[in-house]
Structure formats: structure tokens, C-alpha cells
Amino acid sequence: MYSTIAVAHQRAKTQTQALDRPVVFVVDDDVSVRESLELLIASAGWQPLLFASAKDFLSYARPAGPSCLVLDVNMPGLNGLDLQSLLTTDGRRIPIIFVTGFGDVPTTVRAMKAGAFEFLTKPIDTAALLQAIRSAMERSAALTREDSELAALRSCYQMLSPREREVMFFVVHGLLNKQVAFELGISEITVKAHRGQLMRKMNARSLPELVNMFARLRLGDQVVMH
């Protein structure tokens, strides 16, 4: 019994260490394709995670850090294009490299318009696939940084008081302090105080930077008034 538990712990430890490496997800219903890609991906220094169906992939909790998806187009049930659409709808940003043995122009165009990173045909050119994965990992790392920065920005915005959010809204829309004071029915001195406070909380060094932050938060034209 002890040996069984020890083996289980060792496997869990090994998997955790492996996932420290960038992950290449492979979704393909052909077991021979999955096995050959597993060897290729592992030999290049990435961590392969294999799935026989889109449904299996969707049920897996994606680890943090750079990753990409090597995805077969033609599969029973949810096909590759269906999975791509679901990931886009759910806001799961991951570079997708499509592979297919039945490539056609309309399918390729549809996949690329929907944001596919690359589209390769079987039999797969290993050099082309490895280069596509390298580029996809660079893109994924950039997306990961963007997501982290946006999360930090949202956290800063949550620290603002309702009044500070109102002042921020009017300021980024080009109103002067005295105009903001008129809109909110408060003194200009009070507006200046709120403006200085919100700039500190948002870590904004200038008005243009604050305007950019507002745009990245996608707050639109909504402001909660007292």
C-alpha cells in the first residue's frame, strides 16, 4: 500500500514539474497522430497534453503560462472549427494551429478569419509545425502578459470610490476640472483632490496614460452617478 501511495505522489510531482514547461495541447481523434506528435513535442522541450476529442479538452483546466493548441479539423462530435468557436466565445485566448488531412480553401479561410494562428495539412511537415509552435508560444506569452496586466488594472479600478470613478469618466472624456465640478455639483478643489487620488490608485503618470487605461478596461460610456 505504501509503495502505491509513493508512486502516486511521484507521478503527481512529475506532472507538476512537467507543467512548468510551456504546454502544447494536441486534440486529434487519430491515436497514431497523437502519439507521433507527443514524441515530437516532448523532444523539442515542450510538455504535450493529448486529447482524443474536443469534449475531453474542454473539460481540462488549462494551466497558467504559455500554451498553444494543435487541433485537428475533422473529428466526430465537436470538430475543430466548433471548438475554435467555443473557445472564442468563452474568451479563452490560446493560439490554435490547425492540422487536417482534408484541407480546402473555404475551411482554411474560415479558420484563419476566426483567428487561427496557423493551418497545416497532413502529412505534417515537422519543421513547419515546430516553427509554428515556437511562434505560437511567443504569442501566448504576450497574451499571458496582457491578461496579467489587465487583471492588475481591474484591481486598481476596483479600489476607486464611486466618486473617483465619476471623475475619471469625465476627465478621460476631455472635461476640464471646472467642467467636471459643474457636472457633479461639487467644487473644483474637490475635483482636483479626487483626480489626484485616482491617478495614484491607478498608477497613472499622465492623462494620456489614464485615457489608455480607461480604454483597456472597456468601460464604454457608462458611469454610475450619485
- For 20-80, give the DSSP string: TSPEEEEE-S-HHHHHHHHHHHHHTT-EEEEESSHHHHHTS-PPSS-EEEEEES--SSS-H
pLDDT at 122: 84
Contacts for 75 with CB less than 8 Å, ≥ 6 apart: 27, 28, 29, 53, 54
More confident residue, 104 or 167: 167
More confident residue, 185 or 110: 185
Residue 183 has pLDDT above 90, yes or no: yes
Q: List the domain boundaries for the chain.
A: 2-147, 159-217
Domain 159-217 fold is Arc Repressor Mutant, subunit A (1.10.10)
Taking residues 158-171, report their average pLDDT: 96
Domain 2-147 fold is Rossmann fold (3.40.50)
pLDDT at 22: 93
pLDDT at 105: 61
Cell 478621460 -> residue? 172
Residue 3 has pLDDT above 70, yes or no: no
Taking residues 205-213, report their average pLDDT: 95
Q: Give the predicted TM-score (pTM) of the model.
A: 0.69
Taking residues 31-41, report their average pLDDT: 94
